[in-house]
Amino acid sequence: MEGLEGFNDPGKRLAFLNYTKDKLWAAIPGSVKQFPWEKAESVALRKLLVIGKETLKWSLFAFFGFSCVFDIPYSISRNKELVIPFGLFVGTLLAKYLDQISQELLHDHKDEHVTRRFLGISVFFVIVKFVSTFFPGGNSDFLLHVGNGGLMQVVWNWKNLPEQDGESSTSEDIPAN
């Protein structure tokens, strides 16, 4: 531990770190120093956002699929078969209505706002489904299917979105040196 006693002084520690940084910088090849790191960072972040959007979309689709598989037999076992199409219809109409309202509130029709809109609407219907599981009384079946209908409409709209994420332009963003 005798060699580390000199690092108790902050000035010596800072001088050693600066010396190490300069030595490492001198050892790095020039091509690595010339690489456009900021542009590569923005491309990587854009790709991660695209992957995140796709993951969210497919997890929403999986949640919708699994919840429908369990909600329909549950309603049939409680002799409420007629609630299923009515709840799906109301959920679909409510999702379209919420989408139109959010389009009017967000006048800018960029892809970011569309994703935020669909995310907000889907979170609303997921909350409706979770609240309906703890809702006392016979109306919980109806709310389960309203949530399913809303999620069905959001998944359908999200599936039909055009791919505007610039995936083909990522190879053009980084020049080859």
pLDDT digit string (tens) for the chain, length 177 residues: 455 566 677 788 888 889 999 999 888 888 888 888 889 899 999 999 889 878 877 887 787 778 778 888 888 888 888 888 888 888 889 988 988 888 888 765 555 556 778 888 888 888 888 888 777 766 678 888 888 888 888 878 877 776 544 444 444 444 444
pLDDT at 46: 92
- Can you say whether residue 136 is alpha, beta or left, with left for phi > 0 and alpha for psi between -120 and 50 degrees? beta
Instruction: Report the candidate in 120, 144, 150, 149 with the shortest Cα–Cα distance to residue 131.
Output: 144
Write out the E strands in the chain: none
Output the pTM of the full model: 0.56
DSSP symbol at 150 = H
pLDDT at 20: 92
pLDDT at 173: 47
Query: 50, exposed or middle or buried, with CB in 10 Å at 0-12, 13-18, 19+?
Result: middle
pLDDT at 4: 59
| Residue 101 parent element (H or E) | helix 83-105
pLDDT at 43: 93
